[in-house]
Structures are given as structure tokens and as C-alpha cells.
Amino acid sequence: MQLDAYISFWENLSPATLPQLEAVAVEGFKFTDPFNTLTTRADVSALLARMFAKMQNPKFVVTGRAVNGDTAYLRWVFTAKGWRLEGMSEVVFGPDGRAVSHADHWDAASQVYEKIPLLGSVLRLLKRFA
């Protein structure tokens, strides 16, 4: 398991480092988050390139980790101008030490949707009655 290299990839992510995904993830790398399900390393790289094109200074910081066999659980904080997200990732590593899947878990409703003016008001109202 190349956990330290994998974490380093995410914490040092920039447009220039995107090609380094090949060193830490297999070609059939599956990535999921609340908005995406991607099944190739190239698709993940393209998603990250779009992130850099649309957001100012995006940054991931891993704040905790736990390992169970070939699976790592990473607690992280993502920041970009005007955004702060907290979440956890489940990363499974293959026999060659590279990641085969990465599933992000975070609360899209409270961390994204509630920040959209009209939609956020409706969601906050619904939350009070839930």
C-alpha cells in the first residue's frame, strides 16, 4: 500500500502534478463522491483539471487516517476561495500498492446546497421539521 504517496498526491495537488495520479492509482481507478462516479484514471484527472479551472486555490489536507488491511480511511478538509468541506474517503489499494478505488463521503446538503440562497433556505426549513 502506497498510502503516504497517495496522501502526498492529494495534499500537493496542482495542475502540474495531475500526471502523478498514474503513480498512485491503477488505470481502472474508480472514484465516487456525492456528485460523480468515474471509472478511469483519465476521467478522474479530467475532473481535477476542471476543478482547477473553476476554483481558486483548491487544497486538500488529510487530518487523520486509519488502515484496515488493504483499505485506508482518510479524514480530510478541502478548501478553496469561499469553500470549506470536511469529509472522509475510503481508499482501497490493489496488489501493486496503487489505489483501485476512492469513495468520498461528505454531507453535500449542509456543506454545499444550504449555501445556495433560495435552495439553502428551503433545506434549512425542512431540516427544522425533520
CA distance 104 to 114: 19
Task: Identify the pLDDT of residue 107.
Answer: 65
Helix/strand/coil (H/E/C) assignment for every residue in 52-119? HHHCCCCEEEEEEEEEECCEEEEEEEEEECCEEEEEEEEEEECCCCCEEEEEEECCHHHHCHHHCHHH
Contact between residue 83 and residue 13 where contact means Cβ atoms under 8 Å apart: no
Each of the 130 residues of the chain gets a pLDDT tens digit; together they read 899 999 999 999 999 999 999 999 999 999 999 889 999 999 999 999 999 999 989 999 999 999 999 999 999 999 988 888 899 999 999 999 999 999 999 765 554 544 555 544 444 554 566 5
pLDDT of residue 120: 46
Task: For the chain, give every domain's residue range.
Answer: 3-129
What fold characterizes domain 3-129?
Nuclear Transport Factor 2; Chain: A, (3.10.450)
How far apart are alpha carbons 80 and 83 in whole angstroms?
5
pTM: 0.83
